[in-house]
Chains A and B, each alone.
Chain A
Amino acid sequence: MDQNGVPSKKKVNKKSVLIDDRVAEEITRVEELSYEIKIGEVTTHNLISVSPHETMIQVVELFRHKRISGAPVIDDDHLVGIISMEDLIRCLLKSDTNSEVKKYMTSPPTVVKASDPVVEALKVFVNTHFGRLPVLDDEGNLYGILTKGDITMGLLRALQRDYQIEELRRYRASHLFEDIESDRSSLILRYQIKPHDFTNGGAASSNIKRALIRLGAAPMIARRVGIAVYEAEMNLIIHTTNGGVIRVEIEPHRISIDATDDGPGIEDVQQAMKPGYSTATEEIRELGFGAGMGLVNISRCVDNMILESTPGKGSRMRMKIYLNEDSVGEASQSK
């Protein structure tokens, strides 16, 4: 990695722990970030520059002392070029170290603008052999120097921020009930389910499961709720005329799920509850649904389930999952 600044060794190691798999896992996020983040945000500011009239041997000393491999060349506050290790090597090969910097510097240098997104700098790095690019502000003054390493560090910092935000969300969500004092607190999530919308089938249950995990629910509880809601959601998609609504109420001691629709209703609820009984068409079975196990699955995943239906009017299914042992009595009582 091309290191322009002089971070201590310890700092570098700490950051490399963060790099690992996360980079691989977040490739698409990194790509997004390279458009979001501005070059100026990742550029190194504390500039070490040289004058065109310094000698090359002075540059060697400077690079060695500051542990850098390149620097902008400034004359009268103006950026006139850039001098790098490569230029130094050319000079050393000719044993010409007493020459002035202006003889070996790259001039005029390729520059990028601080207000451009990072991806612009990446393009330049890909298309050239340059190890560093001078960054100019909107007035054309030298703003700083950008290396590929700066970009990597900048992106990693941004990724880390992302993770902290997600962690913070989880933390906030999981303490929701502790932080808010009331005689009884609950959180209600509502999802509108469209009829025959197989494309989005299962989206509501995915979202509910994710919300529960964020709220700090045990994975098994989230799974049970996910399965029950998934089956209820598919029932609304497969069987209803106008779709329906799924309402999930989360309380510290229980989760209540209601799935309601306005038709067509179930002729014989008792029969509908029997394993294997299905009214689904061949077309729906080909999609992998209509096995006649939906309601059975739901009743196995929840502690309490009540299905009411009036043909021509609609159905309402109420499901409850109890979250602590004290409520189990309540559950078996109603079962």
Chain B
Amino acid sequence: MKVAELISIVNGKLLSNGASELDREIKGAFCADLMSDVLASIQPEAVLLTGLCNPQVIRTAQVADVAAVVLVRGKLPPSDTITLANQEKIPLISSPFGMYELSGRLFVASLPSLEGRIIDGQCEC
């Protein structure tokens, strides 16, 4: 699924200015509000659905090779977050839906889960 397609499915609004990233391919999705959970199990090239709006979301996304970030429940992040998203070229999208509805919509649109299984002592990252 492309970022542009994702935006239309989630009724999203693109907050970053990455028009050239709209063609980027998203391989699956992942939801979390704790950044360590993201780092622990997200696979590369996923879209991250989260309720957190601070700049660390983008830092985490950059470190974990996240393809795009969707903020749930119409949240609008501080400008620092948007600036960083522009700098790191990570599309930052705000969607009016809650986490559950968002996940459902993307699941129905055949976007798989990109949450890696955590097996103790085995690094999947």
A residues whose Cβ falls under 8 Å from a Cβ of B: 21, 24-25, 198-199, 201-203, 205-206, 209, 219-220, 223-224, 226-227, 230-231, 234, 287-289, 291-294, 296-297, 300-301
A198 touches B56 (CB 8 A): yes
7 CB-based A-B contacts, threshold 8 Å: A25-B20, A202-B55, A203-B59, A293-B37, A297-B40, A300-B123, A301-B125
Specify which of B20, B33, B88 is in contact with A288 (CB 8 Å cutoff).
B33
B54 touches A287 (CB 8 A): yes
**Contacting residues, chain A, for B19 (C-beta < 8 A):** 24
Instruction: Report if B11 contacts A (CB, 8 A).
Output: no
Q: For the complex, what is the distance from the CA of A226 to the CA of B88, rounded to whole Å? A: 14
Instruction: Report if B9 contacts A (CB, 8 A).
Output: no
B56 touches A202 (CB 8 A): yes
User: Which of B37, B39, B123 has the most C-beta atoms of chain A within 10 angstroms of its own C-beta?
Assistant: B39
**Contacting residues, chain A, for B65 (C-beta < 8 A):** 219, 223
Residue of A at shortest CB range from B124? A300
Instruction: List residues 53-83 of chain B with CB under 8 A from any CB of chain A.
Output: 54-57, 59-60, 62-65, 80
**Contacting residues, chain A, for B40 (C-beta < 8 A):** 293, 296-297, 300
Instruction: Report if B36 contacts A (CB, 8 A).
Output: yes
Specify which of A25, A227, A287 is in contact with B39 (CB 8 Å cutoff).
A227
Q: For the complex, what is the distance from the CA of A25 to the CA of B44, rounded to whole Å? A: 22
Specify which of B36, B88, B122 is in contact with A293 (CB 8 Å cutoff).
B36
Q: For the complex, what is the distance from the CA of A219 to the CA of B64, rounded to whole Å? A: 10
User: Which of B19, B35, B124 has the most C-beta atoms of chain A within 10 angstroms of its own C-beta?
Assistant: B35
Instruction: Report if B52 contacts A (CB, 8 A).
Output: yes
Residues A206 and B36 in contact in the complex (CB < 8 Å), given A201-B59, A301-B125 = no
Instruction: List residues 76-104 of chain B with CB under 8 A from any CB of chain A.
Output: 80, 88
Distance to closest chain A CB from B115 (angstroms): 14
**Contacting residues, chain B, for A219 (C-beta < 8 A):** 44, 65
**Contacting residues, chain A, for B109 (C-beta < 8 A):** none
List 3 tightest A-B contacts by C-beta distance, closest first: A202-B59, A293-B36, A226-B63
